[in-house]
Copies of this chain bind each other. A is one copy, B any other.
Amino acid sequence: MNQQFLLAARPEGMVRESDFNRVSTPLPTIGEGECLIDVHYMGLEPAMRGWMENRADYIAPLAIGDVMRGFGAGSVSVSNNPSYPVGTRVTGSFGWQQHYLHRADAAPLQRIPDGISLRAAIGVFGVTGMTAWFGLERIGKPRKGDVFVVSSAAGATGSVAGQLAKIHGCRVVGITSSAEKCQWLTATLGFDAAVNYREPNWQQQLSEVCPDGIDIYFDNAGGELLNTALGLIRDAARVVLCGGISRYNATGPLDGPTNYFNLIFRRARMEGFIVLDYADQFAAAIDAMQPLVAAGQLRHADTVSQGFDALPGALVALFQGANQGKQLVCISAPDDPD
């Protein structure tokens, strides 16, 4: 049988476990040219909230009763497709299920290169890592000496973006949600400073660690974090709009950044992007990042929840800021643990 989580309800306010419906369906039969993937890890990300709501129109709509969408890593367990022999390690939009049927007419699977673990394949080398890379390279355009500030800095995207900015020679400051995460950012990842926005004077702390202002602000948060950063930008600053986790589960009217007007005084730019637009360049980015990871210049962390049933709760935990690095769920242990 194939365990699946279906979307049971459009979320209102905070995502709830009851927004998903766990069902058990027969394993599909494998037709000509098809293969079956055992999903070992599922990656969780804030954007899922928008998919559940169909607010994110850059991706196909998700109907009530559909298998919840999600990017995962797995291996081919049964194959009628000579391109993907049993054991081939792959990533893809497998959804929240134990087994994914890859149809003959589907887009090609993404093979995981040798030397990259299943977990890294959907973390630092997956959609979140790509988001950090392309958001920084294409929108942030870092220059040596720039002051780079990132929100959700201990998350999968923020932690990678900050380290990449550091490699570019920026002074790097993270905004995160606990003293422990601040410590991890500075002591382990090499950030120059970190600020815990749950402390009452965090805005003052931020302006103190950016005494000359901000050249690049990489926003994963929205809300008061974005607004505060806009108040601190320097001339010709770039505000990279990547996400807005503070908005996703909000109830009632949303705030807009009143300090947007500072973009005029500072001749600055705020720009959004969708990482999937760069999909044809992911392989080149991974090639560039692999030596950085191998050399220990680019570290990545996972928070792994165990077992298929952990999926809904792990998504709720993500929005509560419980994760450090990539939030993953281990659905089934791979034969070759990594």
Q: Is the CB of A265 within 8 A of B258?
A: no
**Is A184's beta carbon under 8 Å from chain B?**
no
Copies in the complex: 2
CA A268 to CA B240, docked complex, whole Å: 11
Q: Is the CB of B255 within 8 A of A265?
A: no
Chain B residue with minimal CB distance to A219?
B264
CA A58 to CA B236, docked complex, whole Å: 13
CA A254 to CA B269, docked complex, whole Å: 20
Question: Which of B222, B254, B261 is within 8 Å of A241, CB to CB?
Answer: B261
* Residue numbers in B under 8 Å from A227 (CB-CB): 256
Question: Which of B241, B253, B259, B277 is within 8 Å of A258, CB to CB?
Answer: B253
Q: Is the CB of B271 within 8 A of A58?
A: no
Q: Is the CB of B272 within 8 A of A271?
A: no
Q: Which of A23-31, A61-69, A149-157, A242-250 contacts B (4 or more CB under 8 A)?
A: A242-250
**Is A87's beta carbon under 8 Å from chain B?**
no
Chain B residue with minimal CB distance to A253?
B258
- Nearest 10 A-B pairs (CB), nearest first? A256-B256, A264-B272, A263-B272, A256-B258, A269-B271, A256-B257, A254-B258, A270-B270, A241-B264, A241-B263
